[in-house]
With several copies, the nearest count.
Chain A
Amino acid sequence: MTSFDARRVRADVPLLRRKINGRPITYLDSGSSALTPRSVIEAMSRYYELRHANVHRGVYVTAEEATATYEGAREAVGRFINAPHPNDEIVFTKNTTEAFNLLARSWGAKNLTKSDAVVLSVMEHHANIVPWFQLRDEIGFEIRFLDVTDDFRLDLSNIDEALRGAKLLSLSSMSNVLGTINPIKELAAKAHQAGALVAVDAAQSVAHTPSDVTDLDVDFFCFSAHKMLGPTGIGVLYARRELLADMPPFLGGGGMIADVSTRGFTPAKGVARFEAGTPPIAEAAGLTAAVRYLEQLGMANVENHERELTADALQRIESHFGDQIRVIGPHNVDRRGGVISLDVEGVHPHDVAQVLDQFGVCVRPGHHCAKPLMKRFNLAATARASFGPYSMTQDTDTLLEALQRAVELFG
Chain B
Amino acid sequence: MSNLEDLYREIILDHYRSPRNRGELESPPALRVEGFNPLCGDEIVVYLDVTNGTLSNIKIAGTGCSISQSSASLMSAAVKGKTLEEVHKIISRFKQLMTITEGTLEDGSEPEPIDLASMGELAALAGVVKFPVRIKCATLSWNTLVQGLDEIPA
Q: Which residues of A contact B (CB under 8 A)?
A: 21-22, 56-59, 64, 67, 257-259, 268, 347-351, 354-355, 358, 365-367, 371, 374, 380-381, 409-410
Which stretch of B47-55, B64-72, B77-85, B144-152 is in the interface? B64-72
Considering the chains assembled together, what is the distance between the CA atoms of A358 and B2 in angstroms? 9
Shortest beta-carbon distance from A316 to chain B in Å: 23
User: Can you list 14 A-B pairs with a CB-CB distance of less than 8 A?
Assistant: A59-B134, A64-B132, A67-B133, A347-B66, A348-B64, A349-B65, A350-B66, A350-B67, A350-B134, A366-B39, A380-B42, A381-B40, A409-B4, A410-B13
| A interface footprint on B120-140 (CB within 8 Å = 1, 0 otherwise) | 000000000001111001000
The answer to whether A354 and B7 touch across the interface, beta carbons within 8 angstroms, is yes
The answer to whether A351 and B66 touch across the interface, beta carbons within 8 angstroms, is yes
- Which B residues touch A371, using CB under 8 A? 41
User: In this assembly, does B3 line the interface, its C-beta being within 8 Å of a C-beta of chain A?
Assistant: yes
Among A64, A358, A381, contact of B4 (Cβ-Cβ < 8 Å)? A358
The answer to whether B38 and A350 touch across the interface, beta carbons within 8 angstroms, is no
Considering the chains assembled together, what is the distance between the CA atoms of A367 and B132 in angstroms? 20
The answer to whether A56 and B39 touch across the interface, beta carbons within 8 angstroms, is yes
Considering the chains assembled together, what is the distance between the CA atoms of A57 and B39 in angstroms? 6
Closest 6 CB pairs of A and B: A350-B65, A348-B65, A380-B41, A258-B38, A367-B41, A351-B66
Interface SS majority for chain A: mixed
Shortest beta-carbon distance from A366 to chain B in Å: 6
Shortest beta-carbon distance from A290 to chain B in Å: 25
User: In this assembly, does B43 line the interface, its C-beta being within 8 Å of a C-beta of chain A?
Assistant: yes
Using known A-B contacts A409-B4, A410-B66, determine if residue A57 contacts B40 with beta carbons closer than 8 Å.
Answer: yes
Considering the chains assembled together, what is the distance between the CA atoms of A367 and B8 in angstroms? 23
Docked complex: B14-49 residues within 8 A CB-CB of A = 16-17, 36, 38-43
- Which B residues touch A354, using CB under 8 A? 4, 7, 131, 134
Identify the interface centre among B1, B4, B133: most chain A CB within 10 Å of its CB. Answer: B133
- Excluding A259-B38, A348-B64, A350-B42, 17 further A-B contacts by CB distance (< 8 Å) are A58-B133, A59-B134, A257-B38, A349-B65, A351-B8, A351-B67, A358-B3, A365-B40, A366-B41, A380-B42, A380-B43, A381-B40, A409-B8, A409-B13, A410-B16, A410-B17, A410-B66
The answer to whether A351 and B65 touch across the interface, beta carbons within 8 angstroms, is yes
B8 nearest CB neighbor, chain A only: A409
- Which A residues touch B67, using CB under 8 A? 350-351
- Which A residues touch B43, using CB under 8 A? 380
Count B-side interface residues using an 8 Å CB cutoff. Answer: 26
Number of A-B contacts (CB under 8 A): 64
Identify the interface centre among B39, B64, B132: most chain A CB within 10 Å of its CB. Answer: B39
- Which A residues touch B8, using CB under 8 A? 351, 409
The answer to whether A381 and B7 touch across the interface, beta carbons within 8 angstroms, is no
- Which A residues touch B63, using CB under 8 A? 380
Shortest beta-carbon distance from B6 to chain A in Å: 11
Shortest beta-carbon distance from A324 to chain B in Å: 16
- Which B residues touch A350, using CB under 8 A? 40, 42, 64-67, 134, 137
Identify the interface centre among A56, A348, A381: most chain B CB within 10 Å of its CB. Answer: A348
- Which B residues touch A365, using CB under 8 A? 40
Considering the chains assembled together, what is the distance between the CA atoms of A157 and B1 in angstroms? 53
Considering the chains assembled together, what is the distance between the CA atoms of A199 and B43 in angstroms? 34
B102 nearest CB neighbor, chain A only: A87
| A interface footprint on B66-107 (CB within 8 Å = 1, 0 otherwise) | 110100000000000000000000000000000000000000
B43 nearest CB neighbor, chain A only: A380
Shortest beta-carbon distance from B151 to chain A in Å: 18
